[in-house]
Structure 1
């Protein structure tokens, strides 16, 4: 490894800053903090024509080079909810951010659940679940069932499968007197 220093700019909250500083302190690394007056802006130029050309080529479809797809295990049973083999909530798919124990019931657990739903959305995206014809059909049926969304053709959110809802709600439950809101579309 080189002893050459490089600049790294980060936007972090106070907790993240303390964590980074303690990591650097643990390894006896030097940190130089700059205030806003000391910060300089470096503008890099790129070949805009090349970027636009690539964007036009890939505008409507993603190619194998720019998509990362995790192959599903063909030997496992497919989950009827998430359409993954094995289920996306199976221990074999465990991630570092997964909870090791259930949290206490609290009214603010919804923000913790929202964060976990985003992580699961990404996991399912990389398994091509959101492009599956069966999923697309389910989404159309769900949109048609709710009169508020009858005329919607495109929607920015996807329907989180029941297996994920059950697991995440188990990790971060609501108090008994506060019902779950269900899957919010907007």
Structure 2
């Protein structure tokens, strides 16, 4: 058996599990932090994975990306380096801005989901400063003044600026801003 090390997104991981499940192969996760590797065999039956996630109902980060302490912290996403930095460039990133169009909102939404996942794996959504910022934003919105639970996280300005640059609205259409639900 040969070892292969991969750094993958959540979507890529699910695709790999599906491929291995299709052929009834086992996936062995190796804990690379230990000198003596612990190997965990996971079921690749797609139905098993989906049902376990639904039954658990718990959102747990099983893949953590450490912050680089030598990099400067972004004042918007509180990550080191910033999620929009070239150091974090992903294959799905746009290489050049697209034309202004009224349907770009759907393209932006897709990119925001990818950035949400990047922030999730850096545990940026759990940071005290982010939670304070989110609470302050909730308190500014009169509809949600008495709510403590809400469905969405606030995308940081660094991400908004980059993604809106990739997929801009036409000049006569303003951006919607943050929607809580």
Q: TM-score, normalised by structure 2?
A: 0.68
**Structure 1 residue 7: Cα displacement:** 8.4
Q: Which runs of 4 or more aligned residues in structure 1 lie more than 3 Å from their structure 2 counterparts after TM superposition? A: 6-9
Residue 129 of structure 2 is matched in structure 1 by 134
Runs of 5+ in structure 1 lacking a partner? 1-5, 10-41
TM-superposed CA distance for 1:95, in Å, is 0.3
Tell me which of 73, 80, 93 is aligned to 2:75.
80
From 100, 117, 121, the equivalent of 1:122 is 117
Alignment deviations for residues 59-99 of structure 1 (CA, whole Å, 9 cap, x no partner):
6x95xxx6211001100000000000011000000000000
What does 1:1-186 align with in structure 2 at a 5 Å threshold? 8=22, 55=56, 62=60, 67-186=62-181
CA RMSD after TM alignment: 2.9
Q: How far off is 1:121 after superposition?
A: 0.2
By percentage of residues, which structure has more strand?
Answer: 2
Cα deviation, 1:159-186, whole Å, max 9, x if unaligned, reads 0000000000000000001011111211
Q: Which has the higher contact order (CA 8 A, sep 6+)?
A: 1
| Unmatched 5+ stretches in structure 2 | 1-19, 24-44
The number of residues matched between the two structures is 137
